[in-house]
Amino acid sequence: MKEHIRALLEYISRYDPEFTNAIGGASREQIEQLESILARPLPSVHRGFLECMGQSVGKLIFYEGVMDPTIESLLEYYTEERWHPPYREYVLFAIDTGPQGSDLFLDCRESANNPAVIRGEPALDFPARARLKHASLSDALFSAALTSIRMPLLPCRASLYATTGWTDRFEGKGLQLLKDICLKLGFERLPFGAEWSPSYERGDAVIDAYEAPGFLPSFEIAASNQREVDRLAEILKDNLGLVRLR
């Protein structure tokens, strides 16, 4: 699965050519120590991530910087005397260093190579309370690259969200309508993200949508000038019945 990490670095380097100079990988000994604690091999995409960025992730930010995915944090977590979700099913990806204390785990029950990313507090009811955040780890990594490296290059922003009438109005086809709108506006669908978390890019703008299962969708627009971001926001509001936050 090293191709996922290679593709990630190629994508980031388009917008930050110095990125690879600022990151650092975990040592083979550290990764083997973690696998020894878990008594299982790491998911291959996770291992590739740690080999490349296990010491330093550079400008790649996860959840506004509160998530720490470094090898030191993972080893510290697993050496603490506390309850951990079953290792065969869940592998810690990042520690929540903020007040919420809700960590990111890899759900390995269905995929041992590129598992889904879930978020929850490590407690006995973890499986029932954890929430799906990304369909795969590679999707989570590309999403972080989009929001923390690509979109900040576009200074003007708008945030929109759907109201409670979204589900009845579109009957599960709202994001398909978004796709049709974006393609007509000259955007291209980026080659990552699940059907419920698509992103669209054009030279001067990005539209990032997120509709986690069981939740109403939210939308982020970034553009090179305020006039264009306002125009795109109005188009989405009019066609999708959205409310603008900012």
Ranges of CATH 3.40.1580.10 domains, the chain: 2-142
CA distances from 239 to 102, 204, 233 (A): 35, 21, 10
Please give the Cα distance from 117 to 197 (Å, whole number). 13
Ranges of CATH 3.30.160.110 domains, the chain: 154-244
203 has a pLDDT exceeding 90: yes
Q: What is the pLDDT of residues 227-241, one digit of tens each?
A: 999 999 999 999 998
State the DSSP H helix or E strand holding residue 160, giving kind and residue range, or none if neither.
strand 156-162
Q: What's the length of the chain?
A: 246
Please give the Cα distance from 72 to 135 (Å, whole number). 26
Selected from 3.20.20.70, 3.40.50.410, 3.30.160.110, 3.40.50.2300, the CATH number assigned to the domain covering 154-244 reads 3.30.160.110
User: 85-93, long-range: CB within 8 Å, 24+ apart, which pairs?
Assistant: 85/122, 85/126, 85/127, 87/38, 87/39, 87/40, 88/40, 89/127, 90/118, 90/126, 91/38, 91/40, 91/42, 91/43, 91/46, 91/115, 93/46, 93/69, 93/117, 93/137, 93/140
Of the segments 35-44, 99-108, 157-166, which one has the largest average pLDDT value? 35-44
Q: What is the pLDDT of residues 123-158, one digit of tens each?
A: 888 988 999 999 999 999 999 999 999 999 999 999
Residue 33, pLDDT score = 98
Q: Would you place residue 180 in the very low, low, confident or very high pLDDT band (cuts 50, 70, 90)? A: very high
| 2-142 homologous superfamily | SMI1/KNR4-like (3.40.1580.10)
Half-sphere exposure of 137 (CA within 13 A, CB side): 30
Half-sphere exposure of 122 (CA within 13 A, CB side): 21
Residue 19, pLDDT score = 97
64 has a pLDDT exceeding 90: no
Question: For residue 19, what are the contacts with CB-CB under 8 A and spacing of at least 6?
Answer: 9, 12, 13, 58, 59, 60, 149
